[in-house]
């Protein structure tokens, strides 16, 4: 019996490698929330024993974080010159002509690390060369839940009215976000 309990605890430990939540979802300004395109809040992220983000690290652009993290379920991430996985802000949504992809430009503040896919696992590679391995299914589940919570915030808020220069890119961002979320449904089991 004791061996079974020990085995079960090991399984639970392996299974619960990722803790991801969003707290204090809000718009930067309450006066013109229909013009504010970026939802902000605290990202509470712990991978293994590593606290990646918590209330002490500050508030982040959680819509851009959800979008960026969804992409990591499907592909490697080697770092990006324009934004971080969890950025402080995403001032500009740009539909990049060369690649037909949405690109975010913001400030230099944010949380970033590399992500690699290996043997149905996600390898998180941090700046100090620490590597933490997680199951792709668990990563997908946590990212899906995070994304769903942020998307629900948009759906329960005033309709967004982007400025003319942001309109096309923002509409594409929202559609790509929904498509990315749908594309991980099977992996996430949701």
The pLDDT-based confidence of 3 (bands split at 50, 70, 90) is: very low
Query: Is residue 1 included in any domain, yes or no?
Result: no
Domain count, the chain: 1
Instruction: Give the model confidence (pLDDT) of 51-76 as tens digits.
Output: 999 999 999 999 999 999 999 999 99
The pLDDT-based confidence of 15 (bands split at 50, 70, 90) is: low
Cα 185–chain centre separation: 15
Cα–Cα dist 157/34, whole Å: 8
Instruction: Give the model confidence (pLDDT) of 126-182 as tens digits.
Output: 999 999 999 999 999 999 999 999 999 999 998 999 988 889 999 999 999 999 999
CB 66 within 8 A of CB 150: yes
Residues of the domain holding 138: 17-188
Query: Is residue 4 included in any domain, yes or no?
Result: no
Query: Is residue 22 included in any domain, yes or no?
Result: yes
């Amino acid at each position: 019996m004791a061996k079974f309990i020990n085995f079960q605890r090991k399984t639970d430990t392996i299974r619960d490698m990722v803790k991801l939540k969003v707290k204090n979802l809000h718009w930067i300004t309450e006066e013109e929330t229909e013009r504010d395109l970026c939802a902000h809040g605290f990202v509470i992220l712990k991978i293994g024993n590593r606290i990646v983000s918590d209330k002490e690290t500050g508030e982040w652009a959680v819509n851009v974080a959800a979008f960026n993290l969804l992409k990591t379920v499907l592909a490697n991430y080697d770092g990006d010159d324009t934004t971080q996985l969890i950025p402080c802000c995403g001032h500009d949504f740009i539909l990049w002509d060369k690649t037909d992809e949405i690109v975010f430009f913001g400030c230099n503040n944010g949380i970033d690390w590399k992500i690699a896919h290996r043997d149905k696992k996600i390898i998180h590679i941090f700046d100090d060369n620490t590597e933490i391995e997680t199951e792709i299914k668990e990563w997908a589940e946590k990212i899906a839940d995070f994304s769903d919570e942020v998307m629900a915030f948009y759906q329960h808020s005033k309709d967004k009215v982007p400025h003319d220069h942001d309109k096309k890119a923002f509409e594409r961002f929202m559609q790509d976000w929904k498509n990315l979320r749908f594309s991980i449904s099977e992996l996430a089991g949701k």
